[in-house]
Amino acid sequence: MFLIVGLGNPDKKYEKTRHNAGFLAVDFLAGKNVWQENKKLKSLISFCHSGLDQESRKLDPDFRRDDTDDLILAKPQTYMNNSGQAVTALMKKYNITNENLIIIYDELDLPFEIIRVKLGGSSAGHNGIKSIIENLGTENFWRLRIGISNEKKELIPADKFVLSKFSKEELEILNEKILPEVEKKVENVIKAD
């Protein structure tokens, strides 16, 4: 069982912002799946099976977990800087090991369209990752970083840039090229386990 957490901020005003690249990624992975809010776990959660592409994923209006489900997708509702609270609660509830945790998030220091995957490492200044490291007491979990940088980064302060919305063109590239690649990289991590 893998827990895949997309980082972002829950308010509507943050939808389609660069800082919500993690939310956009897990939405893509969920496909037609239903999201359910779990206030105790401070997250929106969806269950699915890793062997299916996102178009084939079930649409279950009753939100019943299936015996074949081996992925838990989550969007913390704690806001970025407190992501670790939700991740810790989810890991305890579903008995997830650090090696079976994949965090997907935006990376300001990577150019747009670049994706990087690694196990372990520091927060590199990302407050969501910093919160997760502090709450888990370890850096040993998978990170999948989605590059969000573009030429406008130099003209806008970093805190404002990450909260700016992707352009229409960037959203098209994200949906047609980047998110399908994110899905492949997630599958590679799972298969390598």
**Residue from 18, 19, 58, 145 carrying the catalytic annotation:** 19
Q: Is 19 a catalytic residue?
A: yes
What residue ranges in 120-166 does DSSP mark as E strands? 142-149
Going from the C-alpha of 13 to that of each of 17, 20, 128, 155, 165, the distances in angstroms are 8, 11, 18, 22, 10
CA distance 130 to 124: 8
Contacts of 155 (CB under 8 A, 6+ apart): none
CB 123 within 8 Å of CB 129: yes
Supply the residues annotated as catalytic. 19
